[in-house]
Structure 1
Amino acid sequence: MKPSPYPRDLREFIVRLEKAGRLHRVAGHGRGLRSKGGPMLSTLLTLFGWLFFLAASLHAQESPIEKLRRLPPKERETRLIEGAKREGEVMWYGNWERDELDQLARSFKKKYPFINVSIFRGGSGKVEDKVVIEYRAGRYLVDILIAGTGKMLPFRERGIIAPYFSPETANMHPALYDKEGWWASLASSPVVIGFNTERLPAQEAPKDWPDLLEPKWKGKIGLDTEPDVMVTGLLQAWGEERTLKFMRALAQNQPQIRNGHTLLVQLLAAGEFPIAAEIYGYRVAQFIAKGAPIRMVYPKPTIFTTSPILMAKHPPHPYAAALLYDSLLSEEGQNVVGMDIGRVSGRKQAKSRNPEFAKLQESDHFLALDPGLVGRRTRDAQRWIKEIFLKR
């Protein structure tokens, strides 16, 4: 018997049509079908056949990791480990500090000693330039990327990343991972207002974003040259009109512009200005632990940075890449983030050097930066910052 040229489900559909008297075979042509319902039914059958062909093609194009997604958790992990042992390595591009990336890599190798972790460390721009050049040349070298909140969308539009659904996201705060699998945040940090306790009593310090607009703070506020987290966060919470109004009013108070968020905290601790807006909470906490005379307040909304983990679209080591992605979000990986590094974990019940920050994620004022919005509005935010704060 000659094999049928049609997929199984399509054959069954054709048989039902024949039994119903709606279809018969052309004499002398076993493969030919003619509709008794006229050209419209013939067209539908052709379309139906192409849909089956397309579905089969898409199934064939599924990555090994996508196919494993349908397996039970234990079997999935076993298959990942088997594949990763054959690969033996994983390539990670990241914009975190080198020692932070190394701490996370050591935690991963402790669990998977058979995988060598190679790391390229650079700023967001360097990571972006490197991977874009490689993908244009058809050189697929990277498995996992961490390149800053605003890079997710450009990478997605360029076809550099692909969705990945880590089972570990089930344990994360819902605002800190993408439901379509495009990203999950390795860590976050609140953006705070800091003040010097030797220059300003706590009861007099500004408590919220609008408080910074009071005339008494004119010339007394330190601000980074790139306060883009504050601007995009307020844009996400308030919309464009209110955000621009706030920025222009803040500029009227003549903030002291400095280049670098860490430098801003150092100068605040030294007493160069009594207040610093838009500084990172984890960095302030580090200075407080060393005895610096500074404190912080949490304005509303309390904007949290996000640090998206991204899966490369063509990872050379897909099994090891999936294990690394899962490991970074696992309890062990997030304890390294929260305790050893001191950033804020997005995983529920993870240990934290700053439990106060973790509690903020459960407050009504918590706002996690949306990488999609940041990607769409970063250029607008940078233009506004330049026009409003830097051209004075």
Structure 2
Amino acid sequence: MGKRHWSRREVLGASAGVAAGMAFAEPAKAAAAPSAVTPELIEAAKKEGKVSYYAAIQLEVAENLGKMFEAKYPGISVRVERSGAERIFQRIAQEQGSGIHAVDVANSTDVSHYLEWKKNGWLASYLPEEVAKNFPADQVDGEGMYATACAWLEVIGYNTNLVKPEDAPKSYADLLDPKWQGKIVKGHPSYSGAILTTTFVLSREFGWSYLEKLAKQKVMQVQSAGDPPIKIMLGERAVMADGNDYNLVLFKDQGKPVEVVYPAEGSPLIIVPSGVFKEAPNPNAARLFQSFFFSTEAQQMLVDKFAHRSFHAEVKPRAGQKPMSEVKMLKSDPVQVQAQSEEIKARYAKLFRV
């Protein structure tokens, strides 16, 4: 018998309100106490010997994080299960619904997933000491269920061999120019949480009429937020309508013919929380891994090696990367993303037929 495909509607429900533009504005029922990494925690984690990490960040990033953790804590292996955020959400719903407890720690590019997991009682309250000390309150759940592990911006980009700087699009409106017909690539909200959030933001800011016009540009449709940068780097398309900025920054560092465009109207901010599950099969290793994820060394690696953004107060910005303070950011409302997700994906699929 094949696995049942759970729709998001089956596993979603109403959640408490979150103020628009804030990451985690839900009032805390009880403030979480910060937890330090103790010798006892390390010893207990080593006895478990493994941690199961479900990752929506790109595989190379997740694996690097895992290898750093394994090097710091020999004897504990990290099993990375990487997929798109929407696929991870479905998988965890299937597992939890079947009484299967396989996930220790999960991160997602869709904040609304944490609202649902928290409402369902699936997350454990665990606030790493480093988070309490160095992260802004609006990036931390008040009850310690999750916090923002990293972030990036969704942007426009182009291949510099195919497009001259003076001809490149500077805004979302520019993408509707007939000259870009058949030359654009973009991600899909049914696979990627980052693209789902981006689609929500664009439809909110410009209306669905904008996306209807964009769909008529004969857009190449790919899955994740990491796919459009690859397509323009390879020259398979000249311009990307969405996709993460960090891939383009890394490609530029490698001498690839790509350029980042932070749209005039603003760039959707994608935050990537991480949380420990209450029924984690390796609860101590899960907590140790969560603490490591938010440590200065892990956060600095995400910035330096992968051009991600960090909210850690002691992490130094990446040289040559445009700081978030200089970018007009378009922030989402997780509750609204959650409420509209099925409608967004269905409406989008009708417009952008593969």
Q: What is the CA–CA distance in structure 1 between the aligned matches of 2:43 and 2:90, rounded to whole Å?
A: 33
Q: What is the CA–CA distance in structure 2 between the aligned matches of 1:316 and 1:328, rounded to whole Å?
A: 19
Helix, strand or coil for the counterpart of 1:343?
coil
| Structure (1 or 2) with the greater helix fraction | 1
Aligned to 1:162: 124
Q: What is the CA–CA distance in structure 2 between the aligned matches of 1:161 and 1:200, rounded to whole Å?
A: 47
Aligned to 1:247: 211
What are the Cα deviations for residues 126-147 of structure 1, in whole angstroms up to 9, with x where unaligned?
A: 5445533443343434321124
Please state if 1:117 is matched with 2:77: yes
Equivalent residue in structure 2 for 1:188, among 151, 159, 166: 151
What are the Cα deviations for residues 213-241 of structure 1, in whole angstroms up to 9, with x where unaligned?
A: 3344344433334487456336347737x
Q: What is the CA–CA distance in structure 2 between the aligned matches of 1:273 and 1:379, rounded to whole Å?
A: 29
Aligned to 2:276: 311
Q: What is the CA–CA distance in structure 2 between the aligned matches of 1:228 and 1:317, rounded to whole Å?
A: 26
Q: What is the CA–CA distance in structure 2 between the aligned matches of 1:370 and 1:167, rounded to whole Å?
A: 27
Aligned to 1:48: none
Q: 1:250 to 1:228 in 2, by over 3 A?
A: farther
Q: 1:122 to 1:273 in 2, by over 3 A?
A: closer
Helix, strand or coil for the counterpart of 2:256?
coil
Aligned pairs (5 A) from 1:115-264: 116-124=76-84, 127-149=88-110, 151-169=113-131, 170-173=133-136, 176-226=139-189, 229=194, 232-233=197-198, 235-236=200-201, 239=204, 242-252=206-216, 254-260=217-223, 261-264=225-228
Q: Is the 8 A contact 1:161 1:311 kept in 2?
A: yes
Aligned to 1:302: 267
Letter in 2 for 1:201: K
Q: What is the CA–CA distance in structure 2 between the aligned matches of 1:277 and 1:118, rounded to whole Å?
A: 35
Q: Is the 8 A contact 2:32 2:144 kept in 1?
A: no
Identity of matched residues, %: 25
Letter in 2 for 1:90: V
Q: 1:366 to 1:106 in 2, by over 3 A?
A: same
Q: What is the CA–CA distance in structure 2 between the aligned matches of 1:346 and 1:355, rounded to whole Å?
A: 18
Q: 1:324 to 1:355 in 2, by over 3 A?
A: farther
Q: What is the CA–CA distance in structure 1 between the aligned matches of 2:101 and 2:305, rounded to whole Å?
A: 32
Q: 1:297 to 1:389 in 2, by over 3 A?
A: same
Aligned pairs (5 A) from 1:264-279: 264-279=228-243
Letter in 1 for 2:76: N
Q: What is the CA–CA distance in structure 1 between the aligned matches of 2:346 and 2:304, rounded to whole Å?
A: 37
Q: 1:92 to 1:239 in 2, by over 3 A?
A: same
Q: What is the CA–CA distance in structure 1 between the aligned matches of 2:268 and 2:69, rounded to whole Å?
A: 30
Q: 1:142 to 1:279 in 2, by over 3 A?
A: closer
Q: Is the 8 A contact 2:51 2:77 kept in 1?
A: yes
How many residues of Structure 1 are paired with residues of Structure 2 in the alignment?
A: 319
Task: Report the RMSD for the aligned CA atoms in angstroms.
Answer: 3.5
Q: What is the CA–CA distance in structure 1 between the aligned matches of 2:57 and 2:327, rounded to whole Å?
A: 29
Q: 1:138 to 1:221 in 2, by over 3 A?
A: closer
Q: Is the 8 A contact 1:344 1:354 kept in 2?
A: no
Aligned pairs (5 A) from 1:368-379: 368-369=331-332, 371-379=334-342
Which of the pair has more CA radius of gyration? 1
Q: 1:131 to 1:195 in 2, by over 3 A?
A: closer
Aligned to 2:285: 320
Q: What is the CA–CA distance in structure 1 between the aligned matches of 2:212 and 2:199, rounded to whole Å?
A: 13
Helix, strand or coil for the counterpart of 1:105?
helix
Unpaired segments ≥5 residues, structure 2: 1-29
Helix, strand or coil for the counterpart of 2:127?
coil
Please state if 1:286 is matched with 2:286: no
Q: Is the 8 A contact 1:107 1:332 kept in 2?
A: no
Q: Is the 8 A contact 2:182 2:220 kept in 1?
A: no
Q: What is the CA–CA distance in structure 2 between the aligned matches of 1:263 and 1:127, rounded to whole Å?
A: 18
Q: Is the 8 A contact 1:228 1:378 kept in 2?
A: no
Aligned to 2:311: 346
Letter in 2 for 1:187: C
Q: Is the 8 A contact 1:222 1:255 kept in 2?
A: no
Q: What is the CA–CA distance in structure 2 between the aligned matches of 1:136 and 1:89, rounded to whole Å?
A: 24
Q: What is the CA–CA distance in structure 2 between the aligned matches of 1:130 and 1:389, rounded to whole Å?
A: 25
What are the Cα deviations for residues 44-71 of structure 1, in whole angstroms up to 9, with x where unaligned?
A: xxxxxxxxxxxxxxxxxxxxxxx99647
Letter in 1 for 2:70: K
Unpaired segments ≥5 residues, structure 1: 1-66
Measured after TM superposition, the shift of residue 264 of structure 1 is 3.3
Helix, strand or coil for the counterpart of 1:232?
helix
